[in-house]
């Protein structure tokens, strides 16, 4: 974890539009977490979702295998059409496998939503700028990939609409949440991937 002076300097250097606090915006967009099964990306979003759900068994968080989150969400959404699946991942994790947006768009499961928490930086590796600080717009990539229901949430006034989209059942939704480059929620997560798999499967009631 970098010292506060580093994150605050980064925040000051962030591109305009990255102004929301993730600690407030992520819980506000998710709302009642019991309504979703979650796949969380590695790093910050795993901590965000862990904190929101109180280490819920309905969350599977990556600790590696960067680029897996969206496609895991697709497999889960197709396996359980009776449940809403929310993938919460970061800009870096999503950038690692942009083709997944195309693969998901052609299937377009109505019970899948993707929330990309975009802080414009690789927070886990020393706060290097990511491509989204340098001109890449992930909502436009989602649109170009064929995802029909997309939003960018960059101000408090956008949150209600973004939250509604994540819960709508008309097709796969993509919400890009732009936030300040600050630390994610404090959360001590479980890195035992196999234990978390067993826990998730055991907690999920049969269809």
Partner 1 sequence: MVGDRQDVGRESGLKDPRMDTAVDTTRRTGWQHDLYDLLRRHDITQFAYVPDAGHSILIDRSLADPGVHSIPLTTEEEGVALIAGADLGGARAMLLMQSSGVGNCINMLSLIKGARFPFLTLVSMRGDFGEGNPWQFPMGQATQPVLEAMGVICLRIERPQDVIATTSAALTMVFKSGQAVAVLLSQQLIGAKPF
Report the residue number, 100 or 163, with the smaller CB distance to partner 1: 100
- Give the number of residues in contact with partner 1, rule: CB under 8 A: 39
- By CB under 8 A, residue 66 contacts partner 1: yes
Name the minimum Å distance from CB 99 to partner 1: 3
Measured at the alpha carbon of residue 178, what is the angle toward residues 174 and 29, in degrees to the nearest 5? 60
- By CB under 8 A, residue 113 contacts partner 1: no
- By CB under 8 A, residue 194 contacts partner 1: yes
- By CB under 8 A, residue 190 contacts partner 1: no
Could you give the angle at which helices 44-53 and 22-30 cross, rounded to 10 degrees?
A: 60
Name the minimum Å distance from CB 71 to partner 1: 4
- By CB under 8 A, residue 169 contacts partner 1: no
As beta bridge partners, residue 84 has 36
- DSSP three-state, residue 18: coil
As beta bridge partners, residue 117 has 90, 177
- Residue that is written with structure tokens 């067993």 in the block: 198
Report the residue number, 19 or 96, with the smaller CB distance to partner 1: 96
Query: For residues 153-162, b (16+ Cβ closer than 10 Å) or e, as one string?
Result: bbeeebbeeb
- By CB under 8 A, residue 65 contacts partner 1: yes
Binding partner 1 (rule: CB under 8 A), the pick from 16, 32, 64, 135 is 64
Q: Rounded to whole angstroms, how far apart are CA atoms 174 and 6?
A: 31
153: which 2 tokens? 């949430």
- By CB under 8 A, residue 144 contacts partner 1: no
Question: Smallest Cα–Cα separation from 37: which of 101, 113, 102, 147?
Answer: 113
Those residues whose C-beta lies under 8 Å from the C-beta of residue 6, and which sit 6 or more positions away, are 127
- By CB under 8 A, residue 103 contacts partner 1: yes
Name the minimum Å distance from CB 93 to partner 1: 11
Binding partner 1 (rule: CB under 8 A), the pick from 11, 19, 71, 143 is 71
- Binding stretches for partner 1 (CB under 8 A): 37, 39, 60, 62-80, 83, 97, 99-100, 102-103, 106-107, 193-194, 196-197, 200-201, 204, 206-207
């Amino acid at each position: 974890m970098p010292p506060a002076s580093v994150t605050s300097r980064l925040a000051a250097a962030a591109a305009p539009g990255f102004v929301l606090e993730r600690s407030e915006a992520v819980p506000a967009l998710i709302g009642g977490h019991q309504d979703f099964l979650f796949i969380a990306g590695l790093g910050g979003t795993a901590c965000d979702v862990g904190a929101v759900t109180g280490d819920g068994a309905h969350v599977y968080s990556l600790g590696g295998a960067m680029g897996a989150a969206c496609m895991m969400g697709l497999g889960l959404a197709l396996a359980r059409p009776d449940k809403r699946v929310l993938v919460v991942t970061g800009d870096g994790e999503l950038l690692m496998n942009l083709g997944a947006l195309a693969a998901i768009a052609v299937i377009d499961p109505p019970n899948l939503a993707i929330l990309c928490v975009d802080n414009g930086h690789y927070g886990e590796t020393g706060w290097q700028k990511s491509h989204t600080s340098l001109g890449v717009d992930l909502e436009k990539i989602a649109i170009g990939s064929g995802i029909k229901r997309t939003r960018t949430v960059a101000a408090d006034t956008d949150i209600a609409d973004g939250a509604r989209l994540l819960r709508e059942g008309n097709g796969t939704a993509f919400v890009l949440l732009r936030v300040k480059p600050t630390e994610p929620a404090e959360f001590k997560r479980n890195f035992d991937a196999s234990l978390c798999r067993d826990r998730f499967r055991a907690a999920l009631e049969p269809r």
